[in-house]
Amino acid sequence: MSYRFRDLAIDKIGVVGSGNIGPDIALYFAKAFHTHGVPVVVVDVSEEAVARGRAKAEQKIAKGRESGAFKPDAADAMIRALTFTTDYAQLAGANLVVEAATENLDIKRKIFAQLESLCGPDAILASNSSHIEPEEIFGGLSADARKRALVIHYFFPAERNLLVEIVPGRDTDPARTRSLMGLYEEIGKIPVLVGGRFGYAVNPVFEGLFLAAALAVEEGLGTVKEVDTAARVALGLGIGPFTAMNLTGGNPITNHSLDVMTSKIGPWFRSPRLMKDAMASGKPWDVPKRDEKIELTPEQGRKIGDTMLGAYFGLAGEILDSGIITLADLELGVETGLAMRAPFSLMNEMGVGRALALVEAYAAGHPGFPVPKCIAAQARAGRPFRIEQVIRRDEGDVAVLTIRRPRVLNALNDDVYEQLAAHAAALRDDKKIAAVVITGFGPKAFVSGADVGFLAAIKSPAEGVATSERSKVSGNLFEHLGKPVICALNGMAFGGGNELAMCCTARLVRAGLPVAVAQPEANLGIVPGAGATQRLPRLVGVERAAEMLRTGRALSGREAVECGLIREEVDGDVVDAAIALARAAARGEVQLKPIDPRPLDVPAALPSIDIGHRSRAIDGLICRAIVEGGRKPLAEGLRIESELFGECCATEDMRIGVQNFLTNGPRSVAEFAHR
């Protein structure tokens, strides 16, 4: 069997190296591809390493089976997919090989020389190097092989950490890079594109923060335990920098890399005395034990925190200045890969001027540390950094907008709505663009709904009306763009996601989604506020729309097609299909029927249905929106919906529903007061 994605055919995957990270990379591949029957072969020269790697992977699969993360059949299939061997010949026929051997350039070059002769002429040759430039690793390969070679840098632990840095070399075929970016997104990873500077984008943050923490200890700001604790609090880390070094076994690589960074990045970087001593002793760092409370005075905590923040912001700014990564990708990469508060959001939160002052203070006490131009310029401008959460790329005359907030399944908030509106305004006037596609990031969700935290901030009916009106702006702009707008539903569209999709000229959905679209607002004790009570009845009929709106019932992709909400299910890449449809519609080759804005023939009273535990007070408002708004032209009906959304913000049940969601999660049933 095999797996096909765009121009990639995956019949067999190879992983070279059965040490710390190779088995975890292989495990993720087995998890992603076992249903397609794709074998994953792990090769190592050491029988002992092979045995350890096999045991490690099987133990993790067994643990997943016990916890319920893997169903028994899936766990069995994953074990069958994995082969651990010392026989390099078993890599023959692999379409994708990831080298995960030790961080030694000579060893890597020898491995790739062997892989080029062993694997086929189309095989992608990737290195999981954490630092070394692609040109250094692949310089000995033929010109043809260099087109297929690049770095794919995983982060610890590779089977759970979703970040991968995709680092092409100068000779890497850009089309292969784009396909791999899409493949990794499709299998649930979060890929970011990075230039080939030593250390890439995220490791200089990780190792630079360790260096800053070690220097803080050397300078007498605190002990290892104290600095580890204060840094964790200041940076929003799950674990402190010394604890992270223990868990990842990172001392040897970091010791070497920091010394190389001196010439590759800047003179501040070097392995500190504290690291040299730790390497000589062979002992782990003396970090806080589980539940151990480390007491710091407020002044000590502030001083260490400011030191670490100054270093953090300076490191992130220097990487952005280098041009190897975009701001949005660096923000996402650091937040995902290092599990910490994203740097530019944190600067915006405290004020960019204050962030610059911290960087300047750190640089004043640490020769060679840079004051980034990007932070200085932003502080002079007096504006926060713009962090793109709606990413635009142009495919010829079709613009593709991707909503990218993977940690919250692309949920909508004010920033996303504003960015969508800004893109719509720009696209309306862009004569090079004939059509637009809107999609979401990742395989799970187009948009999971509105960010409930943003709903919880509404304090009054007037704020509710204003919020509802703001949430409609971008959809209205796309609805009246004057160009075809196709929604490519890569995953579920709930709440505001379905409302945005309904503003598009047509909708496509990836085939086989058992849960595709829903308006679950009634479960939260709120009235839909971005157009669902008006557009859904016009697309699927009043009776079906009322049932969906009042009960929150979801439709599968097939059901959504059958009732007319979605044009068709798509086998294969739904974005590519949407691009083709958008282009055909722009050329007049396909006629798409926009939503009919005329009043509906709505009965005086909607059919009685069982709304279960849901709020009767909110149900009454939803019914009013459907009936009163439906009898008006669409624009007037949308305004009526906004006013009724404002009314719901004055109810006790909205507070109950939203708080229940925030406290207990989306599956918890709220106990409404019906008022």
pLDDT of residue 604: 85
User: Residue 584 has which token pair?
Assistant: 């055909």
Question: CB–CB of 503/475 below 8 Å?
Answer: yes
- 108 has which bridge partners? none
Strand boundaries in 29-120, DSSP class E: 40-43, 82-85, 96-99
Fold held by 203-381: N-(1-d-carboxylethyl)-l-norvaline Dehydrogenase; domain 2 (1.10.1040)
203-381 against 390-664: fold identical: no
**Residue matched to tokens 């990075």:** 194
What are the residue ranges spanned by the domains of the chain?
Answer: 3-193, 203-381, 390-664
Relative orientation angle of helices 224-235 and 241-248, to the nearest 10 degrees = 100
612: left (phi over 0), alpha (psi -120 to 50) or beta: left
User: Residue 139 has which token pair?
Assistant: 């310089």
CA distance 535 to 520: 16
Question: CB–CB of 154/180 below 8 Å?
Answer: no
pLDDT of residue 453: 81
Note the helical H segments in 480-551.
496-502, 521-524, 532-540, 542-551
**Residue matched to tokens 């006490």:** 365
CATH number, span 390-664: 3.90.226.10
**Peptide bond before 343: cis, by omega within 30 degrees of 0?**
no
Pairing of strands 163-168, 40-43: unpaired
Question: CB–CB of 402/182 below 8 Å?
Answer: no
Rg (alpha carbons) of the chain, rounded to whole number: 27
Pairing of strands 8-10, 13-16: unpaired
Question: CB–CB of 230/250 below 8 Å?
Answer: no
Question: CB–CB of 201/192 below 8 Å?
Answer: yes
499 is catalytic: yes
CA distance 498 to 507: 10
Instruction: Catalytic residue, from 116, 159, 499, 643: name it.
Output: 499
Side chain identity, residue 558 = R
CA distance 196 to 146: 14
Q: Which distant-in-sequence residues (6+ apart) come within 8 Å of 450 by Cβ?
A: 411, 412, 413, 471, 495, 496, 529, 530
Helix (H) or strand (E) holding 393: strand 390-395
CB-facing half-sphere around the CA of 180: CA atoms within 13 A: 28
- 96 has which bridge partners? 13, 124
Phi and psi, residue 587, nearest 5°: -85, 0
CA distance 262 to 634: 63
Block mean pLDDT (10 aa), the chain, length 675: 90 96 98 96 97 97 96 97 97 96 96 94 96 97 97 96 98 97 97 98 98 98 97 94 92 96 97 96 93 93 98 98 98 97 97 98 98 98 97 98 96 96 97 98 96 86 96 97 98 97 98 97 96 98 97 97 97 96 98 95 92 96 97 98 96 94 89 95
Residues 67, 68, 70: CA angle, nearest 5 degrees: 115
Side chain identity, residue 313 = F
CB-facing half-sphere around the CA of 429: CA atoms within 13 A: 5
Q: Collapse the DSSP code of 93 into the 3-class scheme (helix H, G, I; strand E, B; otherwise coil) and give the result.
A: coil
pLDDT of residue 665: 87
Q: Collapse the DSSP code of 10 into the 3-class scheme (helix H, G, I; strand E, B; otherwise coil) and give the result.
A: strand
For residue 376, the 8-state DSSP code is H
Phi and psi, residue 503, nearest 5°: -80, -15
Domain 3-193, CATH homologous superfamily name and number: NAD(P)-binding Rossmann-like Domain (3.40.50.720)
User: Residue 635 has which token pair?
Assistant: 């624009």
Q: What is the DSSP string of 437-459?
A: EEEESSSSEEE--B-HHHHHT--
Strand boundaries in 278-387, DSSP class E: none
Relative orientation angle of helices 72-81 and 47-67, to the nearest 10 degrees = 170
Relative orientation angle of helices 203-218 and 298-322, to the nearest 10 degrees = 150
- pTM (2 d.p.): 0.94
Pairing of strands 445-447, 390-395: unpaired
Instruction: Catalytic residue, from 331, 469, 521, 647: name it.
Output: 521
